[in-house]
Amino acid sequence: MRLEEPDRLRTRLLGRLHRGAGCIGRSPRNRGIDTPESLAAARWGAAEAHRQGLSLRLLHAWVPLSPGPRRDSAESDQHHWAQRILHDAHVELHKRYPVLSIVEDLVADDARSALLRAAAKSRMIVLGSRGLAAASSYFLGNTSMDVVSRAERPVVLVRATLEERAPSPVHEGNCVVVGLSLWDPCDELFEFAFSAADARGVPLRAVHGRGIPVQAHMPWGVDPEVAAEITDKAQKKLRKKLRPWRKKFRGVRVVDVVTVDSPARVVVQDAENAGLLVVGRRRHRGVLAPRLGPVAHAAVHHAACPVAVVPHG
């Protein structure tokens, strides 16, 4: 979807607005919608809201949108184009999902503050991310990273592929992948991943990567007996953690995968054909600055499918 706004205003909007802010919520979902990345996120968010019976809030945040009388013509007025962006996105999504409840929200604030406030009231927040074609990676600016690292609710990152730049159904993939640690408590991660797989009617792949200890390395490679022992122990722990969730979501087929390799590499590679990758982020308290761990960091920068970062702990 393309708007023919004046070049000057379009530059200011892109410069001030976060690329593709968006949220999903039991209370409505939110986002900022003026690029292919944000439209891809809006479409993903609408499909998810429709699938789960939620409402969708389209959030467009920009500091210059302060209250005041309009003195310019509609063609040059900032409020006019901000409202037009929201309205056009609303119209497109309503055509796809006529019964979905969609709310437009124009906020006079910086994107980071508006998104974090919206996330606290929503089931999830959805952000559009620019793909780097050569590396098939996400490009995340400071606002995106700040929201992903600080939001109290899950944040989903959606990359605008060539297919998503033209109106088309949201690609579901053939499974949901969740990257798991065997040491951290992660009920929030399990709840999100199992619910997503259940709503889509697809299998859930529970993936765990284990690094090789130094003593297992031999001159000719990795000691196969040590690798087998590590894999067996990790597989037992993983199945134990999955047991109560298999019982809760009996309709979800679960495939547990343990691979002896870098956890970040294992998770990203396993999600190549997935419709959604779910990874965790520890909540940081006190004076520690919020940050992403190595697996979440690799996922949000390199996974080709949408990535949900779920805070836990």
Give dist(CA 14, CA 281) in Å, integer.
Answer: 29
- pLDDT over 60 at 28, yes or no: no
Residues of the chain with pLDDT > 90: what percent? Answer: 36
Mean pLDDT of the chain: 77
What is the predicted pLDDT for the residue at 23? 57
pTM: 0.80
What is the predicted pLDDT for the residue at 49? 93
Q: What is the mean pLDDT of residues 8-27?
A: 35
What is the predicted pLDDT for the residue at 176? 96
165-to-85, 160, 302 alpha-carbon distances in Å: 16, 6, 19
User: What tokens appear for 119 in the block?
Assistant: 């996330």
Which residues face 299 on adjacent strands? none
Q: How far out from the chain centre does Cα 18 lie?
A: 15
